[in-house]
Amino acid sequence: MILEKVITRIEIQNEYKDFVDKYTDNLLTEFKGKIHSIYMCGSIPKGTAKPFKSDADFTIVCANPQDIDYERLSNIKDRMLEEYPLVTKIDTIICSMDDVLSNPNDWGFWIKIICVCIYGDDVGVKVPPIVISPEFIIDLNRETKKEVDRVHSSLSNVSDSTLKTRYIKGYSKRLIRALYSLVLEDTGVWQDDIIMMKNAILNYCEIDSTLVDYLYACYLDSDVPVEEFLGIADEVYSYFENALNAMAVSRTSFD
């Protein structure tokens, strides 16, 4: 089964159009000649963003990511957030064209399936069709342990309440996304709607449903004790890791 694109048509709401255009223009001006293409994912290009609640997710594809200076990029973000307070946060990922074309089950998946091109030539069209398979699911999760360990460490040492809320919300979503990847062969589609992800996990995963419901509740309201959350998160990740390892063993046994 072939994975289809999450966003098939750009439907940016009127209140966000000026923001998207101005941020794009700022990037192109600041890094003139360095950017190949710019992409978005999430609620803004889908037309479902909520003012003062939704963030903005961009991806820059360029020949050399080192050409995009993070300090200059951060300055642009700060100015834009001040000018457009309806946007809660701006995330901007940077990758190279080679990242996209040489890693079809990682960066290729991100650009081809998750993102939609808002400027330049869409390099995603050059990525071969992505077939849902155990190999793809395993490749998709190669960085999951590193990401989980990083957020776990940050959350263990956090003192700022705003950061705590952000980490718990992000960690919850990352774990739900990881669990959802396990059921791709059952659903046949990649979902970016967290409620639909949660429901699919409950339908197809053998994990204790209370753990999934807890993560979803934390995604909605992150005001929970850190130690309690980390205990649940560890239990969920342990289930995920065991399931992924079993998938790898099963794949090997059929080779």
- The model's pLDDT over 162-216, given as tens digits with 9 standing for 90+, comes to 889 889 998 999 999 999 999 999 999 998 889 999 999 999 999 999 999 999 9
Kindly report the average pLDDT of the chain as a whole number.
93
Angle between helices 70-83 and 14-30 (to 10 degrees): 150
Burial class (CB in 10 A: 0-12, 13-18, 19+), 250: exposed
pLDDT in tens, 36-49: 999 999 999 999 99
pLDDT in tens, 35-81: 999 999 999 999 999 999 899 999 999 999 999 999 999 999 999 99
> What per-residue confidence (pLDDT) applies to 252?
59
pTM for the structure as a whole: 0.85
> What per-residue confidence (pLDDT) applies to 226?
92
Q: Which CATH superfamily is domain 14-126 in?
A: Beta Polymerase, domain 2 (3.30.460.10)
Residue 137 pLDDT greater than 90, yes or no: yes
Q: HEC profile for 173-195? A: HHHHHHHHHHCHHHHCCCCCCHH
